Amino acid sequence: MTIHTYQITLNWQGNLTHSATGYTDYSRNFLVSHLGKENIYGSADRVSMGDPTRWNPEQLLIAAASACHKLWYLHLCAVNHLHVTHYVDDAYAEVQKAEDGKKGQVIKIVLCPQVTFHDDVDITLALQLHQDAYAQSVIANAISTPLVVQPHIQVE
């Protein structure tokens, strides 16, 4: 078994006062960086006093799940000689908040990949490869939240 290590640096973007002891005294903004890569500007969700123009952790989780699935799916299509010409995923997650509004949990991530193929394609195989990609996905295997894949296949 091979172990790969991935590293990022998350830098908090500062407090709003000198003490930052109260809930409104600090910024929710952060910067994710790694040498040689584009920065990711993040914050909490707007309902948690975050900056809505920045990526929130929930969106980054959805993006990770969607990207990992896409990478595996395209790999499996290539191995099976299926010519993908377009792939877009309008993915979303559902977050359940406790009555007190403090504790939250991602209860479901739904991937909705819309895949277009260049020529006649075996639809059964194209759908099966989504299941295979799900099984291979590092992110899907790392989270306990249900991850649902609802693909839509079309041919040009």
Helix, strand, coil share (%) of the chain residues, nearest 5:
30, 30, 40
Q: What is the pLDDT of residue 20?
A: 64
Mind listing the pLDDT tens digit for each residue in 10-63? 999 876 766 667 777 789 999 999 999 999 999 999 988 999 999 999 999 999
What is this structure's pTM?
Answer: 0.89
pLDDT at position 24, please?
77
Q: How confident is the model at residue 129 (pLDDT cuts 50, 70, 90)?
A: very high
pLDDT in tens, 63-83: 999 999 999 999 999 999 999
State the burial class of residue 42 (Cβ atoms within 10 Å of its Cβ: 0-12, 13-18, 19+).
buried
CA dihedral 74, 77, 82, 87 (to 10 degrees): -30
- For 57-155, the fitting CATH number among 3.20.20.140, 3.40.50.300, 3.30.300.20, 3.30.365.10 is 3.30.300.20
| Residue spans per domain, the chain | 9-48, 57-155
